[in-house]
């Protein structure tokens, strides 16, 4: 599938499953890999080629969802995830630079309920620390490129783009060419500011007209135009773009008066700025006068920002922002309010059918391209045929389209009044659009029945090579897709044929396959042959058998002294599997069907012939977890002062066992900020609950070591 199709697939998935906690276990690994590959490709298009195909908001939604997956399932985190490394993002054009203070994103809200929920959450935290008074500040949310500006010895010495808060690119030479940005200030101390580089709407119109006269592609919005301009290698060309800057945050310790320093700022009218009432804030956010004021400006905005600040800084008590701190992703003392989704009408030109990750055949409408919230929309998912029936959508219909949460295109309804009798009913295809095999209907979905469908083969191999399966680093989805298309891979066992010297010669002829990458891929494949048995069980894609179940079954097989493939197959047919907690009748039936299937037996024998080790007694994971059954199980829910991954890691180092969801085996439940359904489930199971962070730290020896959560030597100050 193309990058656009993968992006669309992920956006549809996020719409259908807004909470990563509800991702089916059997789909988790392939979905996680798809997020990684898609985001890396978008990074390259935007940061290296400067030709993005999605909006900044769409990208942020993808990236935020990936981080949410890693929060819920920390064991799945891959070293090559864009959240862990700057993959596909850094070019060789600019020097690399370090951020001293994290440049965090903002939590988003979309309605009055979201705003009041945020205010209630931080109020509880503040009141526990005897902080009862504060005020709110409302600011515009700029739609530009976030940059850190560093002044030292009166001069602007550095400008650093925002991405990873540790390392990014130094664009000082280009920022110095922005006319409104002061090159010097009347302060000698080192000061750090955060602001937005913007392109005025009038300048974008002028620039696009010039580009069209030269036969170049026009920029879709001011955000992309500003980002492209800052990536120009010729700084003199940047001067011609007439970019502007808006400063909105000071990152250094000593507060300064921005107006006296001459730094460029932009604020809302005074009557919409400060208040001590959350009711006023809600009213201002919903006030059409505020939105109209922003729309009349020569700058693009994508919402409002609500901040908390102290009523007075005259006393020495701890500031409200120090007290609230930040999560790993966003400050607790600020939130963004996104304006209601815009709706436009367009006509459906045709309907395609694509095979999704679970072999579900999904209808997708190709619509007349329209501009919506800064992006060109030409394809919208129709989800399933129940959705089509409910919305009464026909091919050639005019429909109302909006971007849910300003991100995902969604058909709100069909405009029946505009029908002219040329509309056609949308019916399910008779064959798979990928392999042309017959399809089957189960409930509201249609599935491909071909076990050798290229779409299915690709998904199986991607899962087989994933981190929690055989952990073959270089066999990423983009690589698998190429190899399947070129008939190099037609089954899981073909992965081991890549070690053949003749196949390696062919691989080196493919684009982006160099000597080193091929060599490392072969090394990883060879290493996977001796991986623990639970990894093999998890990699085989047995329905309903994911990582935790695979580990439990591997331990059971060790007790049965299953040291060969034949003994393993016999043990998996044994009714004693009932003794394993969590292995229910449905899972046992699936396992039996799997091991009795002739295609499965062929695959397993083929893997055995490739020297893949099937031996439960040679179990590294078992060796390091001998007393597993005697250890306490724990689960946790939502936000803590440290990341979930760090929390789980520290407890696992103390030999506790992590349950992703509370169950009858769970003996400890940790709850803090924003507890949801897991808390209710823990209470219903009578699991002991710990919800006092100080008590949790002392009792379980939890250390707050992450730089974002530690009280830093340099504290963020937002001045007004």
pLDDT band at 545 (very low <50, low <70, confident <90, very high): confident
3-class secondary-structure state, position 250: strand
User: Does position 279 have pLDDT exceeding 90, yes or no?
Assistant: yes
d(CA 109, CA 114): 5
Catalytic residue numbers, as ranges = 141
Do residue 504 and residue 603 come from a single domain? Answer: no
DSSP alpha helix (H) spans, 105-257: 112-128, 172-175, 201-213, 222-230, 235-240
- State residue 94's pLDDT score: 54
d(CA 101, CA 543): 45
d(CA 175, CA 245): 9
Torsion sign over Cα 601, 602, 605, 606:
negative
Torsion sign over Cα 668, 671, 677, 683:
positive
Do residue 324 and residue 367 come from a single domain? Answer: no
User: Does position 316 have pLDDT exceeding 80, yes or no?
Assistant: no
User: Does position 614 have pLDDT exceeding 60, yes or no?
Assistant: yes
- State residue 581's pLDDT score: 56
* Helix (H) or strand (E) run with residue 601 in it: helix 598-609
**Phi–psi pair at 334, nearest 5 degrees:** -150, 150
Q: What is the CATH number of the domain that holds 598?
A: 1.10.150.20
More confident residue, 5 or 272: 272
- State residue 624's pLDDT score: 44
Rg (CA), the chain: 28
User: Does position 653 have pLDDT exceeding 80, yes or no?
Assistant: no
- State residue 351's pLDDT score: 92
Domain termination site, one of 497, 528, 559: 528
Mean pLDDT confidence for 225-236: 76
Q: Is residue 259 part of a domain?
A: yes
Among residues 89, 88, 34, the alpha carbon closest in space to that of 65 is found at 34
Q: In b/e form, how buried is each residue of 596-626, taking b as 16+ CB within 10 angstroms?
A: eeeeeeebbebbeeeebbbbbeebebbeeee
Among residues 320, 281, 276, 275, the alpha carbon closest in space to that of 116 is found at 281
Do residue 508 and residue 550 come from a single domain? Answer: no
Tokens of 109: 């809200």
For 512, which DSSP code?
Answer: T
Among residues 568, 577, 556, the alpha carbon closest in space to that of 604 is found at 568
Mean pLDDT of the chain: 79
For residue 186, count CB atoms less than 10 angstroms from its CB and return exposed for 0-12, middle for 13-18, buried for 19 or more: exposed
Strand duo 274-275 + 135-142: pairing: antiparallel
Q: Is residue 719 part of a domain?
A: no
- State residue 584's pLDDT score: 67
The proportion of the chain whose per-residue pLDDT surpasses 70, expressed as a percent, equals: 83
pLDDT band at 87 (very low <50, low <70, confident <90, very high): very low
**Phi–psi pair at 117, nearest 5 degrees:** -65, -40
d(CA 88, CA 44): 5
- State residue 91's pLDDT score: 43
Residue-range definition of the domain harbouring residue 269: 106-161+173-337
With vertex at residue 80, the alpha carbon angle to CA 76 and CA 82, rounded to the nearest 5 degrees, is 95
- State residue 79's pLDDT score: 52
pLDDT band at 444 (very low <50, low <70, confident <90, very high): confident
Of 390-404, 618-632, 684-698, which gets the smallest average pLDDT?
Answer: 618-632
Tally of CA atoms within 13 A in the half-sphere of 20 that contains its CB = 24
Do residue 61 and residue 113 come from a single domain? Answer: no
3-class secondary-structure state, position 23: coil
- State residue 502's pLDDT score: 86
User: Does position 280 have pLDDT exceeding 90, yes or no?
Assistant: yes
d(CA 648, CA 699): 15
d(CA 463, CA 535): 11
Q: Is residue 321 part of a domain?
A: yes
Among residues 315, 98, 320, 253, the alpha carbon closest in space to that of 713 is found at 253
Report the C-alpha dihedral over residues 69, 74, 79, 82, rounded to 10 degrees. 30
Q: What is the CATH number of the domain that holds 696?
A: 3.40.50.10190
pLDDT in tens, 4-13: 788 888 988 8
The proportion of the chain whose per-residue pLDDT surpasses 90, expressed as a percent, equals: 12
Do residue 124 and residue 249 come from a single domain? Answer: yes
Do residue 128 and residue 185 come from a single domain? Answer: yes
User: Does position 676 have pLDDT exceeding 90, yes or no?
Assistant: no
Tokens of 124: 């509880």
pLDDT band at 196 (very low <50, low <70, confident <90, very high): very high
- State residue 354's pLDDT score: 81
Torsion sign over Cα 111, 115, 116, 120:
positive
- State residue 365's pLDDT score: 92
How many residues comprise the chain?
A: 720
pTM: 0.48
Among residues 157, 148, 268, 252, the alpha carbon closest in space to that of 197 is found at 148
Domain termination site, one of 337, 354, 372: 337
The answer to whether the beta carbons of residues 480 and 460 sit under 8 Å apart is no
Q: Is residue 447 part of a domain?
A: no
pLDDT in tens, 623-641: 444 444 445 788 887 677 7
Mean pLDDT confidence for 175-183: 87
3-class secondary-structure state, position 226: helix
Q: Is residue 435 part of a domain?
A: no
Among residues 558, 557, 552, 586, the alpha carbon closest in space to that of 570 is found at 557
Tokens of 180: 């409104």
d(CA 687, CA 705): 28
With vertex at residue 54, the alpha carbon angle to CA 49 and CA 57, rounded to the nearest 5 degrees, is 120
pLDDT in tens, 24-70: 877 888 888 888 888 878 876 765 555 667 776 677 788 888 888 87
- State residue 99's pLDDT score: 65
pLDDT in tens, 324-372: 877 767 888 899 998 876 778 889 999 998 876 567 888 999 998 887 7
The answer to whether the beta carbons of residues 48 and 395 sit under 8 Å apart is no
Task: Report how far apart, in Å, the C-alpha atoms of 281 and of each of 55, 307, 323 are.
Answer: 28, 10, 22
End-to-end CA distance of the chain: 48
Q: Is residue 57 part of a domain?
A: yes
d(CA 95, CA 160): 10
Mean pLDDT confidence for 147-173: 77
d(CA 131, CA 134): 8
User: Does position 21 have pLDDT exceeding 70, yes or no?
Assistant: yes
Mean pLDDT confidence for 297-315: 83
Q: Is residue 717 part of a domain?
A: no
Strand duo 375-381 + 155-161: pairing: unpaired
Among residues 8, 6, 121, 3, the alpha carbon closest in space to that of 379 is found at 8
pLDDT band at 383 (very low <50, low <70, confident <90, very high): confident
Report the C-alpha dihedral over residues 264, 269, 272, 273, rounded to 10 degrees. 30
Among residues 701, 677, 657, the alpha carbon closest in space to that of 21 is found at 677
Number of domains in the chain: 6
More confident residue, 675 or 672: 672
The DSSP-derived string for 645-678 is HHHHHHHHHTT-EE-SS--TT--EEEE-BT--HH
Domain termination site, one of 282, 317, 337: 337
User: Does position 229 have pLDDT exceeding 80, yes or no?
Assistant: yes
Do residue 613 and residue 549 come from a single domain? Answer: yes
Q: What is the CATH number of the domain that holds 9?
A: 1.10.287.610
Q: What is the CATH number of the domain that holds 400?
A: 2.40.50.140
For residue 30, count CB atoms less than 10 angstroms from its CB and return exposed for 0-12, middle for 13-18, buried for 19 or more: buried
3-class secondary-structure state, position 206: helix
Q: In b/e form, how buried is each residue of 234-250, taking b as 16+ CB within 10 angstroms?
A: eeeebbebbbbbbbbbb
- State residue 166's pLDDT score: 45
- State residue 95's pLDDT score: 63
Do residue 583 and residue 653 come from a single domain? Answer: no
Q: Hey, which residues does 441 pair with through a beta bridge?
A: 446
d(CA 46, CA 91): 11
Q: What's the gap between Cα 65 and its chain centre?
A: 3
Do residue 136 and residue 17 come from a single domain? Answer: no
Do residue 39 and residue 183 come from a single domain? Answer: no
Mean pLDDT confidence for 445-461: 81
Do residue 297 and residue 376 come from a single domain? Answer: no
Q: Is residue 432 part of a domain?
A: no
Do residue 670 and residue 691 come from a single domain? Answer: yes
Q: What's the gap between Cα 659 and its chain centre?
A: 22
């Amino acid at each position: 599938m193309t990058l656009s199709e993968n992006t669309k697939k992920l956006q549809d998935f996020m719409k259908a499953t807004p909470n990563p906690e509800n991702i089916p276990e059997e789909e988790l690994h392939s979905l996680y890999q798809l997020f990684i590959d898609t985001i890396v490709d978008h990074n390259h298009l935007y940061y290296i080629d400067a030709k993005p195909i999605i909006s900044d908001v769409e990208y942020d939604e993808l990236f935020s969802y990936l981080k949410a997956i890693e929060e819920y399932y920390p064991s799945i985190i891959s070293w090559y995830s864009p959240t862990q490394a700057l993959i596909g993002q850094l070019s060789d054009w600019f020097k690399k630079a370090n951020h001293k203070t994290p440049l965090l994103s903002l939590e988003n809200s979309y309605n009055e309920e979201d705003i009041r929920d945020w205010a209630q959450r931080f109020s509880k935290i503040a009141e526990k620390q005897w902080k009862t008074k504060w005020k709110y500040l409302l600011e515009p949310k700029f739609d530009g490129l976030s940059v850190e500006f560093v002044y030292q010895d009166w001069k602007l010495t550095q400008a650093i783009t925002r991405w990873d808060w540790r390392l990014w690119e130094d664009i000082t030479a280009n920022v110095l060419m922005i006319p409104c940005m002061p090159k010097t200030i009347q302060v000698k101390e080192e000061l750090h500011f955060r602001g937005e580089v913007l392109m005025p709407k009038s300048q974008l119109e002028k620039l696009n007209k010039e580009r069209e006269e030269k036969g170049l592609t026009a920029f879709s919005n001011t955000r992309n135009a500003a980002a492209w301009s800052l990536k120009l290698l010729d700084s003199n060309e940047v001067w011609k773009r007439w970019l502007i800057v808006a400063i909105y945050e000071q990152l250094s310790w000593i507060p300064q008066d921005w107006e006296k320093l001459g730094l460029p700022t932009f604020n809302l009218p005074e009557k919409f700025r400060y208040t001590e009432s959350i009711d006023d804030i809600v009213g201002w956010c919903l006030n059409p006068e505020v939105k109209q004021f922003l729309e009349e400006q020569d700058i693009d905005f994508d919402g409002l920002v609500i901040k908390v600040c102290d009523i007075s800084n005259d006393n020495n008590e701890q500031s409200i922002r120090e007290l609230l701190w930040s999560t790993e992703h966003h400050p607790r003392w600020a939130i963004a309010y996104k304006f209601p989704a815009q709706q436009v009408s367009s006509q459906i030109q045709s309907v395609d059918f694509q095979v999704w990750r679970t072999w579900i055949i999904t209808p997708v409408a190709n619509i007349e391209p329209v501009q919506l919230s800064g992006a060109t929309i030409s394809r919208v998912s129709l989800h399933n045929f129940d959705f089509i029936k409910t919305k009464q959508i026909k091919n050639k219909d005019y429909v109302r389209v909006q971007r849910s949460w300003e991100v995902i295109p969604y058909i709100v309804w069909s405009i029946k009044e505009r029908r002219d009798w040329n509309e056609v009913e949308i019916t399910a295809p008779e064959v798979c659009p990928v392999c042309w095999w017959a399809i089957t209907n189960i409930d509201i979905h249609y599935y491909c029945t071909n076990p050798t469908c290229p779409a299915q083969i690709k998904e199986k191999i991607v899962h087989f090579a994933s981190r929690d399966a055989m952990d073959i680093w270089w066999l990423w989805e983009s690589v698998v897709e190429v190899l399947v298309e070129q008939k190099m891979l037609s089954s899981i066992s073909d992965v081991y044929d890549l070690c053949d010297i003749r196949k390696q010669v062919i691989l080196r002829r493919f684009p982006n396959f160099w000597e080193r990458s091929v060599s490392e891929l072969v090394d990883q494949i060879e290493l996977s042959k001796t991986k623990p048995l639970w990894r093999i069980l998890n990699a085989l894609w047995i329905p309903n058998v994911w990582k935790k179940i695979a580990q439990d079954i591997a331990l059971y097989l060790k007790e049965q002294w299953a040291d060969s493939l034949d003994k393993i197959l016999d043990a998996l047919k044994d009714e004693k599997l009932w003794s394993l907690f969590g292995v229910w009748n449905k899972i046992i039936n699936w396992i039996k069907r799997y091991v009795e299937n002739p295609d499965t037996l062929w695959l397993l024998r083929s893997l055995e012939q490739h020297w893949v080790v099937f031996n439960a007694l040679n179990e590294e994971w078992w060796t390091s977890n001998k007393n597993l059954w005697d250890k306490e199980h724990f689960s946790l829910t939502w936000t803590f002062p440290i990341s979930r991954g760090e929390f789980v890691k520290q407890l696992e180092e103390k030999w506790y066992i992590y349950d992703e969801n509370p169950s009858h085996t769970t003996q400890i439940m940790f709850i803090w900020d924003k507890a949801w359904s897991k808390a209710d489930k823990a209470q219903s199971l009578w699991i002991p609950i710990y919800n006092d962070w100080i008590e949790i730290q002392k009792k379980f020896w939890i250390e707050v070591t992450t730089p974002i959560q530690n009280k830093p030597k340099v504290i963020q100050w937002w001045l007004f």
